Amino acid sequence: MCEAVYEAYQFNHLAYHQSSFGDVLYTAETVARASYYAVSGIPQINFDGSTVEYPGGGEFVGAGADAADGHYYIAYTNAHLTDSVPLAVGITDYSYESGSAFVTVKVMMVGDLGASPTNTYIRVVLAEDQVTSGGNRYDKVVRDVLPQTALTVSMAGQVQEFTLPMTINAAWNVDELSLVAFVQRDSDKYIYNSGSSLVGEYAAVAGASGPQQVIADGSQIVFDPATVLNVGMATDTFDVSIDTANLPDGWDAHLVYNGADYATFTVTLAPFESASFNVVMDTGTTGSGAVDVDVFSQGGGEIVDTLVFAGLAGGTDFLVVADDGGAGFGYTAYGPAITGAGKTFAVWDRGLAVVTGADLLDYDAVIWETGANSNVIAATDKTAIDAYLAAGGRLILAGEDLLQGAVANGYSAWIQLKLRFSYGSADSGNRQVNGVAGDPIGNGLSFTLSAGDPDQINLIAGQPAEACFRFGNTGTTPAGIRTTYSTYMVVTLPWGLERVPLEADRNEVLVRSLQWLGVLDALPVEELPGAGLALAQNAPNPFNPATKISFRTGQNGPARLDVFNARGQLVRVLVDGELAAGQYEAIWDGKTQTGQQAASGTYFYRLSTTDERLTRKMTLVK
């Protein structure tokens, strides 16, 4: 499989066979490990001890001939190669000599676990390659699972070392045996890290002791110490260098080692010897950027590990949370529209760190984009979004499997309660997207998505969610939803902007969405596209004591313009009657229907006709 793509210090693979494979392949220990993982189908592949989803959807359970080369799993593996881990695992000595076989395992903490570990164990497995059964060859067949050892270290710099005896079966080919040691947390079966006897003379791991993604409070970020650890079998010299090519203009970064500044420093380390250093990033006032810290082995002649550090400036208008598996759509598909509108943005790499509600509240609006990634909206994400919306957030959710992933994580009710619509299915069966006539976001827009399988979503009668796009030329299935509820507003797109072929259309969708959310100045009503119903942003906004609201009706008939407070209660009726098609203006003087002065705060104004209604937000200040 794809193990052939990686070095032993990057990737370890073990095969626990079940009794259905015959006596040559399985043991009581492998059956017990399959039970530990609650195997539901064969084959089942667990990464880092947990089941995951690949872009086609579903767990890695069962596989056809097209999966034999492992290409399904390479993207997932590559995305994890830059993950920082709090500990290193090494097999420092071993012997397969019959009667005196043993293995010595060493675990060194390069970061902190945060608490003393409970139900966390160091496990050692003996495996054999080139085992033949039924005319087929099998590799990494687990032969023995040695007694587990409780993890007793938890703080950076601590080391745990032990030796275990082994019994070698005479039927095994010792030339094809290998050992894998790993540290596993039983509460969720998560594997922190692993080490192999196949690691050669030259290898290293790098780890960070603190967050690798930080929002700058000032102009400089000093990241917590990072460590490079020699896990090879020989003394080696390492070049540790920082790549600043992905930093914005005016930003810079460097390494600090032994109190001195470097772009590259060199250190010689004996096996399991380590060196610590800091990354310092000089940020601008807006935007975001990331650096790679590469560890190059002079003995091996290659980069053996990489760490990523990212910084976000504190004075930025909008935040793009990128959970797209490292595809970079935050910069390529969303950024141009924001900068073209004269605003600034920063990108939070969700694959690098969890984002919190407090982080989101630093920005005027949040765009949460997931590309084609379906492994999204975890419990921590839901908590962050809930906190953000509860504070009156302005949110755009975009991604073709975003809702599917949320439902897979058990959040169907959350979608209905927060977004006020329901999830339909994992594939709408249509890539043609048409804007709803007269809608402030979709009106006049039409395009065919370049690829993907956008989710189907359904409106719920009586809920404050309205379609801004629909699938198909005559379809009724929503292809985009805008929700105004309580004090927050959300635009949900079951596809990503990267799937929209023309940049002009991508930009228009995002700009109109931000305008509807009230965080970007809208065009005057006479400049709004189309000839149908239109509602402009009030001016001035925020206002005191009065503001002007411009709107347009597309046909003769009844029209009504209402003002509501953040709780959805009617505050004032500004227009109510028969109007001829044309442009109009209304003034709200900040008073209620009974003539009392309205309190400071957020208000919504809604233009309604027989067939349509449009809503915008405004702010009254005193």
pLDDT in tens, 326-335: 889 999 999 9
Position 45 scores a pLDDT of: 66
Query: Could you please report the per-residue DSSP string of 229-269?
Result: EE-SSS-EEEEEEEE-TTSPTT-EEEEEETTEEESEEEEEE
Percent of the residues in the chain that have a pLDDT greater than 90, as a whole number: 50
Lowest-confidence region among 25-39, 86-100, 239-253? 25-39
pLDDT band, residue 557 (cuts 50/70/90): very high
**Domain 316-520 of CATH type 3.60.15.10:** no
Tokens of 523: 């065009």
Position 70 scores a pLDDT of: 58
> 466 φ, ψ to 5°?
-130, 145
Taking a C-beta distance cutoff of 8 angstroms, is the pair 257, 218 a contact?
no
Judge whether residue 61 has pLDDT over 50. Answer: no
Cβ neighbours of residue 18 closer than 8 Å, sequence gap 6 or more:
26, 30, 31, 34, 39, 42
Taking a C-beta distance cutoff of 8 angstroms, is the pair 459, 421 a contact?
yes
Residue 454 CA neighbour count, 13 Å, CB half: 32
Examine domains 204-311 and 526-620 and report if their fold is the same.
yes
Q: Which CATH fold would you assign to the domain 204-311?
A: Immunoglobulin-like (2.60.40)
Mean pLDDT of 603-622: 84
Q: Which long-range contacts (CB under 8 A, 24 or more apart) does 31-34 make?
A: 32/145, 33/142, 33/145
Judge whether residue 57 has pLDDT over 80. Answer: no
Tokens of 293: 């810290």
Selection from 73, 37, 83, 31 nearest residue 52 by Cα: 73
Lowest-confidence region among 57-71, 254-268, 452-466, 493-507? 57-71
Q: Which CATH fold would you assign to the domain 526-620?
A: Immunoglobulin-like (2.60.40)
Mean pLDDT of 78-107: 84
Strands 582-588 and 601-609: unpaired
Residue range 156-175, pLDDT digits in tens: 889 999 999 999 999 999 99
pLDDT band, residue 62 (cuts 50/70/90): very low
Position 298 scores a pLDDT of: 97
Taking a C-beta distance cutoff of 8 angstroms, is the pair 475, 381 a contact?
no
> Which amino acid, residue 475?
G
Please give the biggest Cα pair distance in the chain. 98
Residue 189 CA neighbour count, 13 Å, CB half: 14
Position 409 scores a pLDDT of: 80
Position 37 scores a pLDDT of: 79
Lowest-confidence region among 103-112, 195-204, 432-441, 445-454? 195-204
Taking a C-beta distance cutoff of 8 angstroms, is the pair 466, 482 a contact?
yes
pLDDT band, residue 21 (cuts 50/70/90): low
Position 326 scores a pLDDT of: 84
Position 1 scores a pLDDT of: 52
> Which amino acid, residue 573?
V
Position 272 scores a pLDDT of: 81
Residue range 501-512, pLDDT digits in tens: 999 899 999 999
Judge whether residue 79 has pLDDT over 60. Answer: no
Judge whether residue 375 has pLDDT over 70. Answer: no
**Residue of higher predicted confidence among 42 and 327:** 327
- Average pLDDT over all residues of the chain: 86
Tell me the domain boundaries of the chain: 2-179, 204-311, 316-520, 526-620
Mean pLDDT of 292-306: 94
Position 6 scores a pLDDT of: 61
Lowest-confidence region among 52-56, 144-148, 178-182, 287-291? 52-56
**Residue of higher predicted confidence among 378 and 63:** 378
Tokens of 561: 């313009």
Where does 436-502 show beta strands of DSSP type E?
446-448, 456-459, 465-471, 478-485, 488-493
C-alpha–C-alpha distance, residues 455 and 463, integer Å = 20
Judge whether residue 500 has pLDDT over 80. Answer: yes
Taking a C-beta distance cutoff of 8 angstroms, is the pair 525, 549 a contact?
no
Residue range 97-146, pLDDT digits in tens: 989 999 999 998 878 887 778 899 999 999 999 888 877 788 888 999 99
Tokens of 496: 């990503």
Judge whether residue 73 has pLDDT over 80. Answer: no
Q: From residue 397, how far is each of 60, 246, 366, 406 by CA, in Å?
A: 27, 26, 9, 12
Taking a C-beta distance cutoff of 8 angstroms, is the pair 322, 349 a contact?
yes
Q: Indicate if the alpha-carbon torsion angle 468, 440, 382, 114 is positive or negative.
A: positive
Percent of the residues in the chain that have a pLDDT greater than 70, as a whole number: 88
Taking a C-beta distance cutoff of 8 angstroms, is the pair 615, 605 a contact?
yes
- DSSP structure class, residue 381: H
* Best mean pLDDT range from 112-116, 256-260, 595-599, 618-622: 256-260
Mean pLDDT of 422-447: 89
> Which amino acid, residue 451?
A
Judge whether residue 189 has pLDDT over 50. Answer: yes
Judge whether residue 177 has pLDDT over 50. Answer: yes
Residue range 560-586, pLDDT digits in tens: 999 998 777 899 999 999 999 988 999
Judge whether residue 620 has pLDDT over 80. Answer: yes
Identify the bridge partners of residue 564 per DSSP, sorted by sequence position: 570, 604
Q: Tokens 């039927």 — which residue?
A: 171
Position 42 scores a pLDDT of: 66
> 318 φ, ψ to 5°?
-120, 150
Position 32 scores a pLDDT of: 85
Judge whether residue 65 has pLDDT over 90. Answer: no
Position 475 scores a pLDDT of: 72
C-alpha–C-alpha distance, residues 215 and 321, integer Å = 13
pLDDT band, residue 63 (cuts 50/70/90): very low
**Residue of higher predicted confidence among 53 and 480:** 480
Judge whether residue 14 has pLDDT over 60. Answer: yes
CA–centroid distance for 484 within its chain: 25
Burial of 28 (0-12, 13-18, 19+ CB in 10 A): exposed
CA–centroid distance for 529 within its chain: 35
